[in-house]
Amino acid sequence: MTKISIVGAGSAFTQYIVVDIANIPGLGEDVTIGLIDIDAKRLEIAKQLVEKVISVKNNGWKVVASLDRKEVLPGSDFVINQIEVAGLQTVKYEYEIPLKYGVKQCIGDTLGPGGLFKTLRTVPAWLEIVRDIERYCPQSIILNYTNPMSAVTLATVKSTSVPVVGLCHSIQNTSSQLAEYLGVPYEELKWRAGGINHMSWFVELTHQGKDMYPVLKEKMKDPELLKKDPVRLDAMAHLGMFVSESSGHFSEYIPYYRKRQDLIDRHCGVGYNGGTGFYANNWPTWRAENDRNIMEKVSGEQELDLTSSNEYAAVIIDAVVNNTPRVIYGNVPNTGLIDNLPSDGIVEVACMVDRNGVHPTHFGRLPEHLAALCKSNMSYFELAVSAVLNKDKEMAIHALMIDPLTAAVCSLDEIKEMFEEMYEAEKDYIPELK
């Protein structure tokens, strides 16, 4: 028997993750999919979707769903975390208050003022769930999809011995994009990456033994290509290597692209390519559209796509249950994996997976200038998580003070004032910090 439980089942990820799981060969019929959410309506939508997938696949699997995780977690072999904590209620605060201080975020879910307050909201709620995982299914493996990925995974590692790996799709997506930009078949592109989530660096990029970085630098002279990925390509031209997260996300993680409007106009495109306010202005609409699309798939108005995605959750489940060794890129504790990054932080490296679980591989050293950019963000995550674990407001303020974008725009006085204004606005959603 295999039991896979999804916490935050109302998330858009569920429709892809469950199809991926249903496509795993050899799981047999004795499989239970557990669904947990605190929103009854969205839980019911997720349940109907999963039942539809199972019905179409005709694999005889069981589905259980509950608002009470204690009814679902017992016996779980895998727990997939994809929770969102008070996101709709806070998304405007986390964009509009920093904007008053000149901090112009595109996404705001990982670093910056938005990423910090998402950490302060999300980690306490998640750690309550972790306590129940320890109680009801300590033998499970936690697969974390919730952002801020590094912060949530770090908090989990600091709080439990239950194994956890943080999962993202940025490595898969970026390697595919690089093959497209270079005009070579994906299966022929050889690459190696390492760093931290949303800031892993492609330190090797070759095709049939040829270094493809000179080719990429030549191709980016085409304004049409540069328009597709403006921040990452410009950063690659200066820093020497391509990074794993989209231009819009990445523009927030370093101090160079969003500190003045002329730089935003010059380097940042629209939407995910760096548009100011893109996430805050669109996410509530996306969420409603996602729910509507799922219901149309359940009713048959939309075709249910049963093609596997490039997410890693099902790859891990397949490797562990069926002992089919695979390689993924996971976010794991830096137990000597990347030599020049902090040993108490979370890094993203290639990992082997088999029936014994997830086995991270040694990466070596990053080029020091790239390691320095990662270290800055790792210190931010360390302070943000420690602020939650110690209920320490000063630590949280210090996290914002060393945030690359915020520090590039604001004085220390302004950062503290901004923090206090955001903290007051979100006091109903954040456990008290002292």
Instruction: Return the active site residues.
Output: 169
Distances from the Cα of 290 to the Cα of 44, 249, 278, 283, 415, angstroms: 14, 22, 17, 10, 35
Three-state helix/strand/coil letters over the chain: CEEEEEECCCCCCHHHHHHHHHCCCCCCCCEEEEEECCCHHHHHHHHHHHHHHHHHHCCCCEEEEECCHHHCCCCCCEEEECCCCCHHHHHHHHHHHHHHCCCCCCCCCCCHHHHHHHHHHHHHHHHHHHHHHHHHCCCCEEEECCCCHHHHHHHHHHHCCCCEEECCCHHHHHHHHHHHHHCCCHHHEEEEEEEECCEEEEEEEEECCEECHHHHHHHCCCHHHHHHCHHHHHHHHHHCCEECCCHHHHCCCCCCCCCCHHHHHHHCCCHHHCCCCHHHHHHHHHHHHHHHHHHHHHHCCCCCCCCCCCCCHHHHHHHHHHCCCEEEEEEEECCCCECCCCCCCEEEEEEEEECCEEEECCCECCCHHHHHHHHHHHHHHHHHHHHHHHCCHHHHHHHHHCCHHHHHHCCHHHHHHHHHHHHHHCCCCCCCCC
